[in-house]
Amino acid sequence: MKEQTRKEAQSTEHPFLLSLKQYLDNLQKKINFPEIREATRGRIFEIIDRNNLMSGILEGPNFLAILEEEKKLKGNAKVGVILCIDGRLSILHQFGVAVNTKEVAGSLIGLSKDKKTITDRRFISILEQNADEGRELLEIVTAHKSSRHKNHGCGRISLGISEGEFIGDADVVAWTEAEKRVVAIENKYNEILKSKGKAPQNKVAIAAMVDTDTMGLTLNYNQDNQLNTTDLTLELASDINQTLGHDFGSMRESFTNPSSFIEYSKKVLEITEYLMSAESNRARNYINENYSDLSDQQNQALLFTVCRTIANQYVTGLASEEEFYHPYLEHNERYMVVSPVGKLFGRFDFEQSFGCVPKDRKEMLEHIKIELKLLDKNRKEEGETDILFISTPINLIISETKGTTITLAEDAARVYFQNLLEDEEIKQRIEKGLLVIVPILVDENSGKVLKVRDYSIHLN
């Protein structure tokens, strides 16, 4: 009977329990730190399980059918969105999966000294790849602000102001810096196109302001001709309700529940499709009047982005004139993720997290230390252990024939792991039991966690 009970207990254990324990035991031989609390281990497994649950939903036929329709509405242009690492920016709700996103603290992609071009090698590689593919490109560089809370602006920009890097109001600085990157990306992409013997694009990038309170978008922020999707959502609410029968805010209480995600996605798709097909469309008229230098494909992509934003704000009720609490209203990041390459683990998690794919060791440490400061500032439980995942995405399709791809990615992850443990501030947090680092392998396409890795053997 005891043997049967033991086997039953083992069968219910988390699949990564032994590998996590082995890694932590080995790490403890190299660095002296307190035993990781059971509650912290539970949080690690909870994050992994929730991530894998969403991965399964996003890979399922119900969502893939919706995604296919969204891609048709977006059109053939390649759309890239540059976002801050701020956990309040929910990619799944704010922009969905039909567009590509890149997260950088403050959206501050590195600029040359003259500010005329970008220097981030990884982002340049993305531009080069797109130039080879030959698709028209529209990059949307976002700043973010809080329309209702004075001190809820961009943490990275606020830090820069406090340290003398920037001068002025945080929201204005964030917008100004976004506009600088619009010009720099455009210059670099057209330079790449010319080097490949291809014609330059008339327009490559635009700026947009995200409101973390409402998930709204503002085009031409702070200008006489600005368009605010929150205002437009309220203006169109009655029409949407009468035409489609969806109630404003019908998913206000459930839009962050994975079990409701397919229902949410269907409603957002239906409203987006309706708005884009409407004969009298203020959004379309605005884009035609204010972005006349966009091509037809870029125009359609921007219209899709604006209409999908309206649909999200309508379904969730976030455009409401009366503020209500929702999980992205305030900083409530539960963990951090750093990846040497590719797509981030947790990028589609409904819980808030920090994530970055830094260009180098220096930027990685800068990002993580900004994140730790925000976690300290907004901590709900004193002495809580912070969790940092080092996420290495691998492509399972090519892994059997191109093992070097995984090797190189893991080599980079190991170097990051070593760099973190060499930093005194990070090391002290680990030694005090305030931080645990968890290296993982994830499926690049689905984001599913495949393994917990042990990089402690690479420490001296």
Q: What is the pLDDT of residues 435-454, one digit of tens each?
A: 999 999 998 878 889 999 99
Partners of 227 in beta bridges: 219
For the ranges 29-43, 79-93, 143-157, the lowest mean pLDDT is seen at 143-157
**pLDDT band at 117; cut points 50, 70, 90:** very high
The 100-103 sheet, strands edge to edge: 100-103, 78-83, 137-145, 205-211, 216-219, 227-228
- Say yes or no to pLDDT of 150 above 80: no
**Higher-pLDDT residue of 112, 395:** 112
Task: Give me the residue spans of the domains in the chain.
Answer: 12-54+331-458, 77-316
What element of type H or E holds 281?
Answer: none
Residue 341, SS3 per DSSP: coil
pLDDT of residue 344: 80
Q: What's the Cα-to-Cα distance from 443 to each of 247, 260, 289, 399, rounded to whole Å?
A: 37, 24, 43, 10
pLDDT of residue 408: 62
What element of type H or E holds 227?
Answer: strand 227-228
How confident is the model over 360-374, as a mean pLDDT? 88
Percent of the chain with pLDDT over 70: 94
Question: Do the beta carbons of residue 157 and residue 106 sit within 8 Å?
Answer: yes
Domains 12-54+331-458 and 77-316 share a fold: yes
**pLDDT band at 3; cut points 50, 70, 90:** very low
pLDDT of residue 264: 97
Residue 338: other Cβ atoms inside 10 A:
26
How confident is the model over 388-400, as a mean pLDDT? 75
pLDDT of residue 407: 60
Residue 106 to residue 262: CA distance in whole angstroms: 31
Cα 305 from chain centre: 16
pLDDT of residue 287: 96
pLDDT of residue 192: 96
pLDDT of residue 51: 92
Q: What angle do CA 101, 178, 99 make, to 5 degrees?
A: 20
Residue 440 to residue 421: CA distance in whole angstroms: 17
Backbone angles phi, psi at 429, to 5 degrees: -65, -40
What is the domain class of 12-54+331-458 according to CATH?
Answer: alpha beta
Backbone angles phi, psi at 13, to 5 degrees: -70, 155
How confident is the model over 356-383, as a mean pLDDT? 85
- Say yes or no to pLDDT of 190 above 80: yes
Q: Which of 377, 393, 361, 376 is nearest to 435 (CA)?
A: 376
**pLDDT band at 4; cut points 50, 70, 90:** very low
pLDDT of residue 217: 97
Residue 123 to residue 137: CA distance in whole angstroms: 13
pLDDT of residue 119: 93
**pLDDT band at 332; cut points 50, 70, 90:** confident
**pLDDT band at 280; cut points 50, 70, 90:** low
How confident is the model over 236-256, as a mean pLDDT? 94
Q: What is the 3-state secondary structure (H, E, C) of 132-185?
A: HHCCCEEEEEEEEECCCCCCCCCHHHHHHHHCCCCCCCHHHHHHHHHHHHHHHH
Sign of the alpha-carbon torsion through 184, 294, 175, 364: negative
pLDDT of residue 321: 85
What element of type H or E holds 41?
Answer: helix 38-59
How confident is the model over 414-436, as a mean pLDDT? 93
How confident is the model over 285-308, as a mean pLDDT? 96
**Higher-pLDDT residue of 47, 350:** 47
Please classify residue 114 by burial: count the beta carbons closer than 10 Å to its beta carbon, then call 0-12 exposed, 13-18 middle and 19+ buried: exposed
Residue 213 to residue 178: CA distance in whole angstroms: 20
Backbone angles phi, psi at 136, to 5 degrees: -65, 145
Residue 206 to residue 186: CA distance in whole angstroms: 9
Please classify residue 126 by burial: count the beta carbons closer than 10 Å to its beta carbon, then call 0-12 exposed, 13-18 middle and 19+ buried: middle
How confident is the model over 156-173, as a mean pLDDT? 92
How confident is the model over 420-425, as a mean pLDDT? 93
CATH architecture of 77-316: 3-Layer(aba) Sandwich (3.40)
pLDDT of residue 2: 42
Residue 353 to residue 235: CA distance in whole angstroms: 33
DSSP 87: T
pLDDT of residue 397: 55
pLDDT of residue 9: 40
* Residues, the chain: 460
Question: Do the beta carbons of residue 336 and residue 354 sit within 8 Å?
Answer: yes
Instruction: Quote the mean pLDDT of the chain.
Output: 89
How confident is the model over 379-391, as a mean pLDDT? 87
Q: What is the pLDDT of residues 319-331, one digit of tens each?
A: 998 888 888 888 8
Residue 305 to residue 107: CA distance in whole angstroms: 18
How, if at all, do strands 435-443 and 449-452 pair? antiparallel
Percent of the chain with pLDDT over 90: 66
pTM of the shown model:
0.88
Radius of gyration in angstroms for the set of CA atoms belonging to the chain, rounded to a whole number? 23
For the ranges 108-112, 179-183, 194-198, 369-373, the lowest mean pLDDT is seen at 369-373
**pLDDT band at 403; cut points 50, 70, 90:** very low
Q: What is the pLDDT of residues 62-75, one digit of tens each?
A: 999 999 999 999 99
